[in-house]
Amino acid sequence: MPHVLIIDDEANIRRMLGALLRAEGFTVEEAPNGPAGLLQVDGLDPDAIFLDLFMPPGPDGLATLQQLRSRGCTTPVIMMSGKAQLADAVRATQLGAFQFLEKPLSPEAVLVTLRSAIELGRARTQNRALRQALESREEMVGATPVMDRVRQLIRQVAPTDARVLITGESGTGKELVAAAIHRASARREEPFVTVNCAAIPRELVESEMFGHERGAFTGAAERRLGRFELADHGSLFLDEVGDLNLEAQAKLLRTLETGVLQRLGAEQPTQVDVRIITATNRRLEQAVTAGQFREDLFFRLNIFPIPLPPLRERLDDLPLLISHLALRARPGRPQHYGPEALARLRDYRWPGNIRELANLVERLAILGGDTIGADDVGQILPAAGSGPGPAHPAPRPDGQGALTELLDRYERELIEGALAQAAGNVAEAARLLITDRGNLYRRMRRVGLLTRGEALGER
């Protein structure tokens, strides 16, 4: 049964409110002032708190609420007062009060508000549990000096609001680093929103980033918030930011400079408070020199760079990584990798980095037994120097197709071959084809291997 704590200096209020709640099946505790209420919270851990605003001689309800929050108490608090001013209600909301009820209290309002507050508290508890479960899956594994250095950089930059640029090859775990920065920051309880810039079609970048109003363009059937607004007060992770076109870069730069965005079709601008974390597998300095990336945007994003090492530079972490990935692939059924298997894995160059390793471990979890040997690894590990090949020989001109059609057919077969070898991983296929992921997405759409909706789903 839910526990409710009533903190009020008036005994009659505590008695009447307590009687109402007990009649509805709640377990009720009472406290005559703020200090006594704080002691009750420590021992009771209530599901909701009713807190009076004025409790002479003090501390008052706002001071008590502030102490609750400073102690890390997330219990929903319902403020009560018969003399409250607008400024009091605003201050209570800023301190995290769930609702503000005016005295004399209405039984209907009390019960509706209380049940909503308890539901919110349960949702928060479930959210924390889910977040902890996800964090355990997103743990950065590794004990090599290069990984210790990455962790040190995260610890240094996380408490600030500085923009971070994470660089490294595809599959090195850039999103894990971004998530770790968010979790260690003061914004940890706010949204962490991820955008795959390489997967957004050029014509939808502005709508995806900044949102749109209903009727802003053909097909805009309803209002939609952009990624910046969804991340308000939290962190926005722009993955593969180097794949944004120059027009999108200009709009991103303007929002970074002003903190203001404008939805498509909106009359008024919107102010946002967002921490920006970006990542790329491209060398942005070279892209700036080539005129493919704005220099002013690069300087604003590259406040605090964090380079990630490829797996081939941290092979001593292989046993730890494999143990972590195998446990995730086969929960409750340990899978042991023998020394010959580990030696075989160390000899591989790992062009797809951690992502490629995770794919291999998952396949071995399905195909292998409790012990993995060198032969098991050899059956799955790609041969050194292997690369994508067309599914069929290159088409020859036969008078049955125009040059454009033949080129499209050959390009499609090349992409299909690379995707097959990469087990469907687009980033790995792009590496095999020696191109960037954004370009491969565009070519896949052009030859009919990817629809626009599927591209957006890749985010």
**Residue recorded with tokens 């002691």:** 39
Average pLDDT over every residue of 122-139: 64
Q: Are 317 and 143 in contact (CB under 8 A)?
A: yes
Note whether 53 and 119 are same-domain residues.
yes
Confidence of residue 238 (pLDDT cuts 50, 70, 90): very high
Q: Is pLDDT of 401 > 60?
A: no
Phi-psi group of 456: left, alpha or beta (phi > 0 → left; psi -120 to 50 → alpha; rest → beta): alpha
Residues 342 and 420 in one domain: no
Domain assignment present for residue 222? The answer is yes
Asked if 319 and 291 sit in the same domain, the reply is: no
Number of domains in the chain: 4
SS3 275: strand
pLDDT at 191: 87
**Residues 187 and 267 reside in one and the same domain:** yes
Read off the tokens for 410.
């050959």
Domain that holds residue 368: 312-380
Entry pTM: 0.60
Q: How far is CA 139 from the centre of its chain?
A: 13
Bridge partners, residue 78, by sequence: 50, 99
Span 243-263, average pLDDT: 90
Q: What is the CATH number of the domain that holds 65?
A: 3.40.50.2300
Can you tell me the distance from the alpha carbon of 6 to that of 105, in angstroms, rounded to the nearest whole number?
Answer: 13
Percent of the chain, pLDDT > 90?
47
User: Is residue 391 a part of any domain in this protein?
Assistant: no
Residue 145 is predicted with a pLDDT of 94
Residue 355 resides in a domain: yes
Last residue in a domain, options 112, 133, 154: 133
- Domain shared by 59 and 112, yes or no: yes
> Do the strands 235-239 and 275-280 form a parallel or antiparallel pair, or are they unpaired?
parallel
139 belongs to a structural domain: no
Buried b (16+ CB within 10 A) or exposed e, 311-322: beebbebbeebb
Predicted confidence band at 395 (pLDDT cuts at 50, 70, 90)?
low
- Residue 12: the pLDDT is 93
Spatial separation of the C-alpha atoms in residues 357 and 171, rounded to whole Å: 9
Predicted local confidence at residue 390, as pLDDT: 41
Round the average pLDDT of the chain to a whole number and report it: 85
Domain assignment of residue 140, yes or no: no
In a domain, 395, yes or no: no
CATH label of the domain that carries residue 417: 1.10.10
Last residue of a domain, one of 251, 284, 309: 309
pLDDT exceeds cutoff 80 at 253: yes
**CATH number of the domain that residue 213 is part of:** 3.40.50.300
Cβ atoms 368, 325 nearer than 8 A: no
User: Does 28 share its domain with 126?
Assistant: yes
Secondary structure letter of residue 270 according to DSSP:
E
Q: Tell me what the mean pLDDT of segment 106-129 comes to.
A: 83
17, 93: one domain: yes
pLDDT of residue 445: 82
Beta strand 260-261 with 270-271 is antiparallel
For residue 169, being part of any structural domain is answered with: yes
CB neighbourhood size of 274 (10 A): 24
> Do 218 and 334 belong to one domain?
no
DSSP letters along 214-264, please? TTSSTT--S-EE-HHHHTTTSEEEEETGGGS-HHHHHHHHHHHHHSEE--B
Q: Does residue 61 share a domain with residue 36?
A: yes
The tens digit of pLDDT for each residue in 340-349 reads 999 999 999 8
Q: State yes or no: pLDDT of 84 exceeds 60.
A: yes
CA distance 340 to 318: 13
270 and 195 together in one domain: yes
Q: Is the pLDDT of residue 459 over 60?
A: no
Residue 136 above 70 pLDDT? no
Q: What is the mean pLDDT of residues 348-354?
A: 90
Contacts 24+ apart (CB under 8 A), 95-100: 95/62, 95/65, 95/66, 95/69, 96/65, 96/69, 97/51, 97/65, 98/48
Q: How far apart are the first and last CA of the chain?
A: 42
Let me know whether 192 and 261 are in one domain. yes
Q: Are residues 288 and 328 in the same domain?
A: no
* Per-residue pLDDT at 422: 78
pLDDT in tens, 159-189: 999 999 999 998 899 999 999 999 999 998 8
CATH (domain of 362): 1.10.8.60
Distance CA 421, CA 428 (A): 9
The pLDDT value recorded for residue 398 is 56
Of 269, 284, 309, the residue that ends a domain is 309
- Domain membership flag for residue 434: yes
